[in-house]
Each structure stands twice: as C-alpha cells, then as structure tokens.
A and B are shown apart, each in its own frame.
Chain A
Amino acid sequence: MNDLWTNRLSEYIDGDLDNEERVALEAHLAACGSCYATLAELRQVVARAQSLKDSSPPTDLWPDIRARLTPGRRPGVERARRFSFSVPQLLAASIVLALLSAGGMWIGLRSTKPTVTANQNVTSPPPDYTLAYASRWRTSTDAAVTELEEALTRNQGQLDTATVRVLRQNLAVIDRAIAQAQRALKRDPGSNYLNLHLANTMRQKIELLRRANALAAGQS
C-alpha cells in the first residue's frame, strides 16, 4: 500500500479528483487489491460518519464558542451535518465488489450443488438455503451491475464507437440469457441448476462490464 494513488483515495471518495485523475485511479483500483481494500475501509468510515447524529457538547459554552468560530451564525441554530462528497463514482470499487459478490454466489452455489458420486448417491442442500442465498446475492449483484452500467455509460466515450457497439451487442446477448434464466426460475424457483446458471450468467455480465470499463479507463 505504498503507491502514489493511496493518498488520493480520500479525494476520490469526496469526488474531488478531476475526470482524468478519476479514470486513472479507477483503472488502478481494478488491478490493485491493496488500494481497493483501503478504499473499502475509507468508505466504511464515511458511512459511519454519515450515520452519526450531531450532538452539542454537554456544556452551555459550546453555542457561544461556535458562534465565534462561525461569524454570522446565531447560537443555538442547528445545522445538518454536511459532507463534502457527492455520491462517489466508485467504478472500480463496484467492479471488485461485484466480482467478489458474483464470485461468492458462484462458489457458494456451486458448493451447495448436488454431489455426483460414482455410485450415484446424490445429496442436495435444503432448498431454502440456496434460495435465500440466491436472493441475497441477486440484490447485491443487481446494484453492482447498475453501478457498472452507469460507469460504462459515463466512460464509453473513451472507446471507439465500433467497440462500444460490440460491447453493447454482447451485453444484450447476456441480458437475453439472463431474462430467459429468470423466466425459467419463476417457473422453478427451487432449481439448483437454474440458480447456478443465472449466477454464472450474471457473473459473465459483470466480467464484461468490468472489462469494458477497464478498456475505457485505459484509453482515456
């Protein structure tokens, strides 16, 4: 964790990097697990900070002190806590998060799939376990896909139009496959195969989105 980007992560979270720096950092995050981990920790800190309530010091002195620190403000007037960052464009973070999420689902479901043995003894996990796992995973993955798609929409201008067209066409291919798998799952929600298949197809979509964004970042 000693590269030049480490100290820029806070600015990144706050949205203070210019576009060129942001794209470069996102490209770096896609390859640097250390920086990504640091970014995740920073985000947690920010999230905790956002959840804190403003509270006045337990003395009556504070209103006056604050009034002196901020001329023009009347003592006793509370102001909502303001954070300087906007919603960060956490492309790379979402990439890794999504991959971890998709990978987790993939591994998790695969580990729960029936075991094939030579004597054909097949064991299956309780259906509820798989379904609950699948449901949780889908929610987080959908959010990750949304972030990645938004990032691609923002960044695709960096790519050749022909490349964008190919990427979009193939995302559509995957979307069709996902839709078909989802329809099948509605008819048979307990199917391990269909859950696995949907997870794998979602993983492929995330991989493609991730790659598309990395390409865009690399060509800026």
Chain B
Amino acid sequence: MQLILAALAAVTLALPQRDDIHQGKGRGQGQGQGVGDTTFSVQNGARLDVNNFGGEIVVKTWNQNSVQVHSSHSSRSQVNVSGSGSTVLVRTEGRRGPPSIVDLDITVPTWMGMTLSGTYTDISVEGAGGSVTAESVQGDIAVTGGTGNVALKSVEGGVTLAKTRGRIEVNSVQGDISIEDASGDITVETVNGDITLARIDAANVEVNTVDGDVLYDGSIKPGGSYRLATHDGDVTVVIPPGASLSASVSTFDGDFDASFAMDTVRAGKHRFTFALGRGGNTARLELETFSGNIKLRRPGEVGLESRKHKNSGRGHNDRDNDNEQYNYNYDYHYKYHYRYAGN
C-alpha cells in the first residue's frame, strides 16, 4: 500500500473530531457548525478521490507529500476520509438523509492526480500537476494546472481551464467553456454556451456547441486537425502568420470574412475551401456554423475584453471565473459574402 493510510481507514471529520489520527490532526466545534482538519502523509502515485454532494471542493497544491483536508459544514453532515489502495477517499454524508452544504478545502502534493465530483457543487483546483477529473451537475468548475488526462464536466455551470497540458476533454450542457494557456489534444463540447480557446498549443482540436460562439486563438500545427462547429453562433479563428493549412468552411446561412488575403477561395453551395501558406504537411481546418458567421483574424486583432457569461450557471456560487472573455472587435480587409439560404 502506497499510502500511509492504514490508520486512516475511516477518519471522520465530523463532530467530535478525533485528534492526532496517525499523522493527522482533527478538531471540532459544536454549536451546529462543524470544522474538521486532518493532515496525513501520502506516497508518490497516490490519488485523491472526492465526492461532495453540495457545497464546494477547493483543491490547492503544495510541495509536501501530504494531504490536508479542511472541512466546514453543519452538524447534520460529516466528512469521512479513508484510504483504498493508493487512493485517498473523501466523502461527505448526512447523519440523517443527504448531507447539507459542505465546504472542503484540500491541499495536496502538486503531483497528485485527482477525481472530484458532486451534485450541487462548485469545484476549484489550483496548481494541479497530475491528472484531473472533475464533474458537477449544478456548479461551476475552474481548474488551473493539470497534466495527462484532464476531463471536466458540468451540466449547469461554466467551466474554465488554464495552464494545462495533456489530453483535455471539457463538457458542459448549459454553460460557457473557456480554456487558456493549454497544450495537448483538446475536445470541447457544450449545448448552450460559448466556447473560447485562447493561447492554445494543440495539434488536434475538436469543438462543438449548438447555441453559442466559438473562438480559437492558438497554434495551427503542421499536420494538425482543427474542427470548430456551432449551429447558431459565430466561429472565429485566429490564424498565425505563416500557418500552412487547407480549410473547409461550411455555413448554411452566414457570411465569411477574413482580415487578410487568402491564397484561393473556391465557393460551393454550402461550403468552400481555401488554402493558406505553402503545401507540404498542412494542417486541416474545418469550420462550420449553420446560422452564423465565420471569421478569420490575425493575432492581436481579437481583443480581450471582460464580459459576463451569458450562461455562467448558478448565480449564487459564481466565483468570477468568467473574466477574460473575448470580444469580437476588429477591422478586417477582406470580406466574402456567401449567403447560401435559398441557393
């Protein structure tokens, strides 16, 4: 067993707390409010697995091979910390029925991978150095860091991800998705929300929304594949100078414009293609919107401007993760009108 958790088989952070369980410390407060604290050592390779029915999961990292769990909750709930194999399990439960709101502040080693889940739960991770899986039904998810597999899912809530590298998969139903300073293969999907990818270094990008705008500002790598699609919204792509690509642009009822000249443009009924740069190992770019405009811009032409999300999920737990959204303000020089409806 990689964890030094033998004695932590069931450390309960509910009231009253047990003190000094193995390397952990706990304390409790009465009067209807509970606060739990425990710290214990873990070995390399251990993983954190947290489920919190409602409230917050906040995970931070430090350069120590130990995990600290701090919880805040009412006396009707309790938090159990246990070990299973190489996994640290943190669970919340109600003394009678489902748990009430529990706020968990957890500090883990930077290298530690984690799986975080909840129902009415906001999830926040800062400085993760391992894989991150986070899923909430009603709640926002904000992750900074993460390597390897990074998978974030929310039904009703925005998702923001930054400073990540690896295989990135982000999914929401109603909520905006923002990914910044990320590298790796990226798959992003929501139904009702905007998708913003900024400062991306990726060779494979797949983005889908039904009702929302899509913005991609990142690398276009030789041999890479980039597919950005929406049904009702604009698709904006920032094309680095010198990028070599062949592109397919499809729209049923929309316009296409670019802020720069393109090598070739070949119109079709609902689709046209063009190429940029010289041949060789070109990237493939597929841009689609049924009802919206497709825009190509050069770096710097799409300015950052704070704006509120139109789909930021629940209001009461918005932790202002929704800043740094792009606003589409620019001048362009070449405009191609292809309004296909009725053709």
Residues of A within 8 A of B (CB): 113-114, 116-120, 122, 160, 162-163, 166-167, 169-170, 173-174, 177, 180-181, 184, 187-188, 191-194, 196-197, 200-201, 204, 207-208, 211, 215, 219
16 residue pairs bridging A and B, Cβ less than 8 Å apart: A116-B247, A117-B246, A120-B266, A120-B273, A160-B138, A169-B174, A170-B192, A173-B211, A174-B210, A177-B211, A188-B270, A193-B250, A193-B252, A197-B250, A201-B210, A215-B137
Quick check: B291 and A180 within 8 Å, CB to CB? yes
Quick check: A120 and B174 within 8 Å, CB to CB? no
Quick check: B229 and A200 within 8 Å, CB to CB? yes
Quick check: A177 and B290 within 8 Å, CB to CB? yes
* Closest beta carbon of chain B to A120's beta carbon, Å: 5
* Closest beta carbon of chain A to B203's beta carbon, Å: 17
Answer whether residue B248 sits at the interface, using C-beta atoms and an 8 A cutoff: yes
Residue of A nearest to B277 (CB): A118
Instruction: Please encode chain B, from 314 to 343, with 1 for each CB lying within 8 Å of some chain A CB and 0 for all others.
Output: 000000000000000000000000000011
- Report how far A218 CA is from B275 CA in the complex, Å: 48
Residue of B nearest to A162 (CB): B138
Instruction: Please encode chain B, from 261 to 290, with 1 for each CB lying within 8 Å of some chain A CB and 0 for all others.
Output: 000101011110111000110101000101
- Report how far A177 CA is from B174 CA in the complex, Å: 15
Residues of B with C-beta under 8 A to A173: 191-192, 210-211
Answer whether residue B143 sits at the interface, using C-beta atoms and an 8 A cutoff: no
Residues of A with C-beta under 8 A to B252: 184, 193-194, 197
Per DSSP, are chain A's interface residues mostly helix, strand or loop, or mixed? helix
Instruction: For the complex, count residues of B whose C-beta is within 8 A of A.
Output: 40
* Closest beta carbon of chain A to B288's beta carbon, Å: 7
The 9 A-B residue pairs whose C-beta atoms are closest, nearest first, are A118-B279, A177-B231, A193-B250, A116-B246, A170-B191, A193-B270, A166-B156, A116-B273, A116-B248
Quick check: A191 and B232 within 8 Å, CB to CB? no
- Report how far A181 CA is from B119 CA in the complex, Å: 34
Quick check: A122 and B137 within 8 Å, CB to CB? no
- Report how far A162 CA is from B315 CA in the complex, Å: 14
Answer whether residue B180 sits at the interface, using C-beta atoms and an 8 A cutoff: no
- Report how far A174 CA is from B231 CA in the complex, Å: 9
- Report how far A119 CA is from B275 CA in the complex, Å: 8
Instruction: Please encode chain B, from 2 to 31, with 1 for each CB lying within 8 Å of some chain A CB and 0 for all others.
Output: 000000000000000000000000000000
Residues of B with C-beta under 8 A to A116: 246-248, 273, 275, 284
Residue of A nearest to B253 (CB): A184
Quick check: B191 and A208 within 8 Å, CB to CB? yes
Residues of B within 8 A of A (CB): 119-120, 137-138, 155-156, 173-174, 189, 191-192, 208, 210-211, 229, 231-232, 246-248, 250, 252, 264, 266, 268-271, 273-275, 279-280, 282, 284, 288, 290-291, 342-343
- Report how far A13 CA is from B264 CA in the complex, Å: 58
* Closest beta carbon of chain B to A158's beta carbon, Å: 11
Quick check: A200 and B208 within 8 Å, CB to CB? yes
Given the known A-B contacts A166-B174, A174-B191, A208-B173, are A188 and B269 also in contact in the complex, defined by CB atoms under 8 Å? yes
Residue of A nearest to B251 (CB): A193
- Report how far A167 CA is from B192 CA in the complex, Å: 11
Given the known A-B contacts A167-B173, A177-B210, are A197 and B231 also in contact in the complex, defined by CB atoms under 8 Å? yes
Residues of B with C-beta under 8 A to A163: 137-138, 155-156
* Closest beta carbon of chain A to B204's beta carbon, Å: 14
Which of A122, A201, A211 interacts with B155 by CB under 8 Å? Answer: A211
* Closest beta carbon of chain B to A135's beta carbon, Å: 19
For the A-B complex with A114-B273, A204-B208 known, give 12 more contacts whose Cβ atoms are closer than 8 Å: A118-B282, A119-B275, A119-B279, A163-B137, A166-B155, A166-B156, A170-B173, A177-B211, A177-B231, A188-B269, A196-B250, A201-B231
- Report how far A207 CA is from B120 CA in the complex, Å: 21
Residues of A with C-beta under 8 A to B282: 118
Residues of B with C-beta under 8 A to A114: 248, 271, 273
Residue of B nearest to A170 (CB): B191
* Closest beta carbon of chain A to B244's beta carbon, Å: 8
- Report how far A184 CA is from B232 CA in the complex, Å: 14
Given the known A-B contacts A120-B266, A173-B191, A204-B210, are A211 and B173 also in contact in the complex, defined by CB atoms under 8 Å? yes
- Report how far A95 CA is from B19 CA in the complex, Å: 48
Quick check: B288 and A193 within 8 Å, CB to CB? yes
